Amino acid sequence: MINKVVGSAEEAIKDIRDGAMLVVGGFGLCGIPENLINALVKSGVKGLTCVSNNAGVDDWGLGLLLQTRQIRKMVSSYVGENAEFERQYLAGELEVEFAPQGTLAERMRAGGAGIPAFFTPAGFGTTVADGKETREFDGKHYVMERGIRGDFSLVAAWKGDRLGNLVYRKTARNFNPMAATAGKVCIAEVEELVEPGALDPDNVHTPGIFVHRVVVAPRVKRIEQRTVRKG
């Protein structure tokens, strides 16, 4: 019987070594694999390249790995909520590759689909296109972008089964489905583990064929920007 469930986040990430390339799901603090990230902090692994929309905030998410200087390079589309990210980048302590948000999502998806490169109009005529091949199709200019294929994918889902089938909840889906397919080994943390067959096949967002390990982990799910009405 297939059973991809492991006992802890620490066990799930134990073979991630120095210098690994990680493709990490989430948007801001929404849908991030916070327990897997915390386990990486404890492991002390270093020299990581992290591909993710952003790096969380200074004291949560990938921001924790920045604090401990475990990340060597970030491939991201947004850095605005993390002061330490900004400081390390401006000081030349962190290598950063910026990508338009939609391009980043497509680079993940392409890597997972075995597509080595594609052309997109996003970024043509800007510094995003520097050093990249450009071509004209039907009178419009495009930039060639490479698909992303990481050593590991780290994602967070709402529900999963022991076969690795995953369901994300609402906007927490964000980059997770693309990230899940873009790593050679996909590790998923889930809030709720259900029996095989309990998930409607038509509602499975990431099929188990792409997922190698599942860990059940309670999540804090911090709110990045808390906005409330005055009483």
Distance separating alpha carbons of residues 92 and 130, to the nearest angstrom: 19
Residue 206 has pLDDT above 80, yes or no: yes
CB 58 within 8 A of CB 84: yes
Instruction: Examine the pLDDT at 231 and tell me if it is beyond 80.
Output: no
Q: What is the mean pLDDT of residues 2-27?
A: 98
Which residues lie across from 155 on neighbouring strands? 188
pLDDT band at 214 (very low <50, low <70, confident <90, very high): very high
Residue 189 reports pLDDT greater than 90: yes
d(CA 32, CA 129): 29
Query: Tens digits of per-residue pLDDT, 142-165?
Result: 999 999 999 999 999 999 999 999
Mean pLDDT over 210-231 rounds to: 90
CATH superfamily of 19-119+148-216: Glutaconate Coenzyme A-transferase (3.40.1080.10)
The structural domains of the chain, with segments of one domain joined by +, span: 19-119+148-216
Per-residue pLDDT at 21 exceeds 90: yes
Q: What is the pTM of this model?
A: 0.95
Which amino acid does the sequence have at 169? R
Task: Provide mean pLDDT across the span 24-44.
Answer: 97
Distances (CA, A) of 106 to 51, 122, 123, 139: 12, 11, 14, 23
**Contact assessment for residue 57 and residue 81, using Cβ atoms and an 8 Å cutoff:** yes
User: What is the DSSP annotation of 78-113?
Assistant: --TT-HHHHHHHHTTSSEEEE--HHHHHHHHHHHHT
Mean pLDDT of all residues in 193-219: 97
Q: Are 163 and 208 within 8 A, CB to CB?
A: yes
Rounded to a whole number of angstroms, the CA Rg of the chain reads: 18
